[in-house]
Structure 1
Amino acid sequence: MRRPATSADEEHATADAAAAHGTRRRLLIVVNVDWFFWSHRLVLAKAAMERGYDVTVATGVEAGLASRIEAEGLRFVPLVVGRGTFSPGADIRLLFQLRRLYRAAKPDIVHHITLKPVLFGSLAAASVGCPRVINALTGLGTVFSGRPGLGASLRASMVRFGLRRAFRASRAVALLQNPEDLDELVATGVVERRQTHLIRGSGVDVERFRPGGSRNSPPIVVMASRLIGDKGVRVFVDAARLVRARGLAARFVLVGAPDGGNPTAIPVSQLRSWEDEGVVEWWGRREDMPDVLRRATVVVLPTTYREGVPKILLEAAATGCPLVATDVAGCREICRDGETGLLVHPYDADATAEAIARLLQEPELRARLGRAGRALVEMEFSEAQVLRDTLGLYESLWSGVASKA
């Protein structure tokens, strides 16, 4: 595991970024954490580089991926980003990190991805006069999910206010992943509609993720995600118990790892306890997701908050696997009830178990949903289409004509 980035690391990398750029158009991609960039935006950065951009990537460092990112031909700048909480001291330091970076690197386009880079990167970009800014929100998360309680309401109000200031300060393009999020930000006055642009998710490689092989017997029900409470891990485990109580033979598998930067992370001790109980298997983080998904009979994502377009649902649909997901923004884009999967209410283990049991018992339904999911991904969510649309947005900004949603 790479040691956490220090201010000295950041200053050296910032200086390198400033010294290295030449006459090519300079693209700076700023993401909250290295593993998210690697899984969701590496392909975009490489495509931009192939298009002729000089690409710098700035992220928080958690997974020790700096050397792998640099090995792809990308310049890397470590950031100190406190995920999961808002701390005035840490957030001010992040703001000043970004200001130093933007002054040194002089980017032609800055692409902020995820909440903290959008909030603080926008202010930094405005303060140094960055000419073109994209603010990409990968789902509106728990903040806009209407959760009860004074604390949740205050946090939502603060984030809305911060986003409103961020978008106005930088005159940024607001890049959203689903139309519900776009409409929400417009309706609440965070952005004007003319600022918005819609690109649906990060896409999926339809050649790498494709149907093939045979589904296992007994069937395997997979949930693959960050193992945090907000993703509905406990709902999945409770649903597994309920399905087993019906006497249905199935293996229930969690794929992924706890996210230490999230306050609802599932402790490893709890995961081990569930394994010892025999209710689920925990396979950890996997690099061979196409093979994992081709073995799966059903893929479940019982997330409790607003998503962008969940990558795991795109990947599962691309392999022809039927979906069970919660009826929330983002999931509805790819899990279309009765067409590509079954939708259930958040926090509802009974309904989740019922949907899983139905799919386990109806092979013809599974096959029909799986075929439709594959067709939908090919038509609307391919990685090639997302790259084409995003690079097209870069080009429109470069030419001074930002496309509208």
Structure 2
Amino acid sequence: MRVLHLGKFYPPAPGGIETFTAILAREQVEAGDTVEVLVHSETRGWRSRRRQDGAVSVVEAGRPGQLAYAPLSPTFPLQLQRCIAQTRPDLLHIHVPNTSAFAALLLPAARRLPWVVHWHADIPLDSGSRLLRAAYPFYRPWEQALLRRADRIVATSAAYRDASQALAPWRDKTVVVPLALGDAETPAPAAPLWPLGKRRLLAVGRLSHYKGFEVLLDSLVALPDVALLLIGGGEREAALREQVARLGLTGRVQLAGQVDDTCLQQAYAQAEIFCLPSLDRAEAFGMVLLEAMRAGLPCVASAIAGSGVGEVVRNGETGMLVAPGDAAALSAALARLADDADLRTRYGEAGRQRWQTAYRPAAVMAATRRVYAAALAGRAAAARPG
């Protein structure tokens, strides 16, 4: 099969959607498919380029600008037209949210193909961004047109599908397929990343408001024996550094910024507890939770209504769920794990087993293949006369 993926960015660009797109594309190539991925250039500029990720062909359309979370890429439609002409895909796999994907609605060559729309997240209208709220009325008709035209829609969890107002009219063609994560290379021994004598707490993610890292810092004030390593960059970095200093946490909180994959795997290998304190449904799934579970770490995460986080982390089995934004509850959960080595081990082992059984690429690849088959069959049936 020939598959053309449309996405925002592609690794080494960070992000859960980017990571998963690469995992799926590599798995498909391994299965014998011809796979191309059209995304935006991570660096700003007009220049487009083609590169290889092993046997996966990656086309990066020039991106001279960015508006909020939306890359501005006037050349994306042209690159899409070229990819279709050169690759001759059997199917488009469209990862959203991504405003550039709306180009498929306007190109006859794209409209002739079956579409699978991978719904990674709603537009986060409760994020506090006035720009997003103001822009969404203009975005929504395009979003709904994309969903209307899709032959099949993939949601990453039943909870997110059921809570999504955007998906509500299209439930009959929406299928749940979780994200996946493959094996990681065993990292070489490294110098300790945490201060000695402290419980080693790890958090990974973009430093955005919805990630709730401010709440995590507040929770640490009452936990003098816990040290945090926070990996990731973003617009809240300066505010978080100021908060660390104001709370007197400088000696046991390190904001590491973006790190390479080797350092990231060393962090997972050395950590004792993982935390994802996100505040709202902008956290649709939590790919980093799979990374933590793969490493055998117990997880503390937010019980976000309508998010897949509560499906990934099983409260009282692989970790603990607490109310979003509740620093006291988060502190209590972290304290319990910090004080109980047996509980950390039990949750960590259960999490690793859950990753092995539910979130491996082979199972997700098989489910995706069934979605493709349904999309192709549905399009073929619609094309038959009578």
TM-score of the two chains, using structure 1 as the length reference: 0.76
Give the deviation of 1:149 after TM superposition.
Answer: 9.1
Give the deviation of 1:392 after TM superposition.
Answer: 3.6
The verdict on how the C-alpha distance between 1:119 and 1:183 changes in structure 2, with shifts beyond 3 A counting, is: farther
The verdict on how the C-alpha distance between 1:77 and 1:126 changes in structure 2, with shifts beyond 3 A counting, is: same
Q: 1:240 aligns with which of 199, 206, 220?
A: 220
Give the deviation of 1:40 after TM superposition.
Answer: 2.3
In the other structure, the counterpart of 1:85 is 68
Aligned partner letter, 1:299:
F
Contact 2:91-2:115 at 8 Å conserved across structures: yes
| Secondary structure of residue in 2 paired with 1:351 | helix
| Secondary structure of residue in 2 paired with 1:242 | coil
Contact 2:9-2:40 at 8 Å conserved across structures: yes
In structure 1, what is the Cα distance between the partners aligned to 2:130 and 2:116? 32
In the other structure, the counterpart of 1:327 is 303
**Aligned runs of 1:172-183 on 2, under 5 Å?**
172-183=151-162
Give the deviation of 1:98 after TM superposition.
Answer: 5.7
In the other structure, the counterpart of 1:205 is 182
1:100 aligns with 2:77: no
Aligned partner letter, 1:314:
L
1:294 aligns with 2:266: no
**Aligned runs of 1:3-152 on 2, under 5 Å?**
25-34=1-10, 35=13, 36=15, 39-62=19-42, 69-80=51-62, 85=68, 90=72, 93=74, 96-97=77-78, 100-101=81-82, 104-105=85-86, 106-116=88-98, 120-124=102-106, 128-140=110-122, 142-143=124-125, 146=126
The verdict on how the C-alpha distance between 1:208 and 1:114 changes in structure 2, with shifts beyond 3 A counting, is: farther
In the other structure, the counterpart of 1:220 is 200
Gaps of 5+ in 1: 1-24, 259-264
1:334-388: CA deviation from partner (whole Å, max 9, x where unpaired): 1122221111222222222221112111222222222221222122112221222
In the other structure, the counterpart of 2:383 is none
Deviates more, 1:173-182 or 1:363-372: 363-372
**Aligned runs of 1:308-327 on 2, under 5 Å?**
308-327=284-303
| Secondary structure of residue in 2 paired with 1:332 | helix
Gaps of 5+ in 2: 381-386
Contact 1:204-1:383 at 8 Å conserved across structures: yes
In the other structure, the counterpart of 1:21 is none
1:231 aligns with 2:242: no
Count of equivalent residues: 359
Aligned partner letter, 2:61:
L
The verdict on how the C-alpha distance between 1:175 and 1:85 changes in structure 2, with shifts beyond 3 A counting, is: same
Contact 1:322-1:370 at 8 Å conserved across structures: yes
Give the deviation of 1:252 after TM superposition.
Answer: 0.8
TM-score of the two chains, using structure 2 as the length reference: 0.79
In structure 1, what is the Cα distance between the partners aligned to 2:27 and 2:80? 26
Structure number having the greater helix percentage = 1
Structure number having the greater strand percentage = 2
The verdict on how the C-alpha distance between 1:332 and 1:360 changes in structure 2, with shifts beyond 3 A counting, is: same
Give the deviation of 1:128 after TM superposition.
Answer: 4.2
The verdict on how the C-alpha distance between 1:323 and 1:78 changes in structure 2, with shifts beyond 3 A counting, is: same
CA RMSD of aligned residues (A): 3.6
In structure 2, what is the Cα distance between the partners aligned to 1:173 and 1:131? 12
**Aligned runs of 1:242-321 on 2, under 5 Å?**
242-244=222-224, 249-258=225-234, 265-267=235-237, 270-271=240-241, 274=244, 277-284=250-257, 285-288=259-262, 289-306=264-281, 307-321=283-297
**Aligned runs of 1:335-350 on 2, under 5 Å?**
335-350=313-328
In structure 2, what is the Cα distance between the partners aligned to 1:363 and 1:68? 49
In structure 2, what is the Cα distance between the partners aligned to 1:347 and 1:126? 47
The alignment-based identity, stated in percent, is 21
